[in-house]
Amino acid sequence: MILVDYQPTTPLTAGNFPWHIIFGVDGTGVDTTIVGGRVLMRNKELLSLDEEEICTKSRELASRLWRRL
């Protein structure tokens, strides 16, 4: 389940609700993520992953890849 912080730029009605979901909601508004009863992200903060460590490792691997290319 995801909880989304969505601020529509046009009126939100029962008639256009599906279109807001399809075209208005994207990943940038995800605030909270719950999987199997476990909260993985709350208030846009990852709780089960070390984002800084992942980014550091990603930069290292990308650098090695570019050297090989």
The pLDDT assigned to 53 comes to: 96
- pLDDT of 21: 92
- pLDDT tens string 44-57: 999 999 999 999 99
* Residue 16 predicted with pLDDT over 90: yes
**What's the pLDDT at 27?**
86
Burial 3-38 (b: 16+ CB within 10 A, else e): eeeeeeeeeeeeeeeeebeeebeeeeeeebbeeeee
Predicted confidence at residue 31, as pLDDT, reads 95
Strands (E), 7-50: 30-35, 38-42, 45-46
68-53-66 Cα angle (round to 5): 10
